[in-house]
Amino acid sequence: MKQHPPYPGDVLPEDATRSVDKNRRQLLTIGAISAAAAAIPFSSASSASRRLSASSSRSQDMHSIITNNAEIHYKDWGSGQPIVFHHGWPLCSDDWEVQMLYFLSKGYRVIAHDRRGHGRSSQTFTGNDMDTYAKDVAALAEHLDLRDAIHVGHSTGGGEAARYVARHGAGRVAKLVLIGAVSPLMLRTPTNPGGLPRETFDDLRKQLAAGRADFYWSFPIPFYGFNRAGAPVSEPIRTNWWRQGMMGGAKAQYDCIEAFSETNFTEDLKKITVPTLVMHGDDDQIVPVADSALLSAKLLRNATLKVYAGYPHGMCTTHADVINQDLLAFFRKA
């Protein structure tokens, strides 16, 4: 087994910690903006530069709000129609950085938050459930006064996005995208015989409780399909997944396993009327397509289903070029 990458764990006084965190967030934001500018073709540099400048003028820092007894951190870059990205378990808003920079360069305002207990948000002891996740998003949407927004959710974030749109999104949401989403229900029950057995999720909890560092080092292998023939392990992708997972709180991430596996989104999906794109890889080893996307598309009133042959759960990373283009086409469709 490869040696784990170092992770900063020094304990600092509270004031010093806040100062270090603020400086770190400033450097990360500035670095991301610089990287985006360098990656944009010269022919479009002028317009893209203006958009990146709008992002810079909006903030050189990550923002946060206090809601439902938690501090929720979020990124808010650019101007134009807002796209809100909902990340998967146990990751954070950083998992969307490729999409955020891509759609920022296309003239959209891009927003992504760290779910409570994940990333830079509060390491919550309670409230780690889908209802509260959706309420946190509702508070963020109200705080930013988001209108005509497109919500994009991956995995657990797909469930969060669906619940938000169904229960809180009236008058604020234009479109919805579910990518490798956990909806309508992951757990096998008498009414959901195609779901995964409870033992699957008990094993996730057992491995997390025994030590996240080892667990999170091995989990990206099936997540990205690195265990398939002809798919070599990308150590940078694996390390980035591990980094994000270790940023969050163990208790919140432990609780989130129940939230993403046992929450039934059937009624939420039935209520959603906005155009919804359902995207899923048919080689998803984390959320099998047959009991998720194929069922969700039937429950939604206005759904378009796209199944990608051979794509893994983490296809937004492994096949970002294809996914981004398909997302853009859906966003632009009247």
Q: Is 304 left (phi over 0), alpha (psi -120 to 50) or beta?
A: beta
Place of tokens 């995208």: 177
Whether 155 is a known active-site residue: answer yes
Which candidate in 55, 121, 122, 155 is catalytic? Answer: 155
Which candidate in 268, 283, 284, 291 is catalytic? Answer: 284
Q: Whole-angstrom Cα distance, residue 51 to residue 153?
A: 24
Annotated catalytic residues are 155, 284, 313
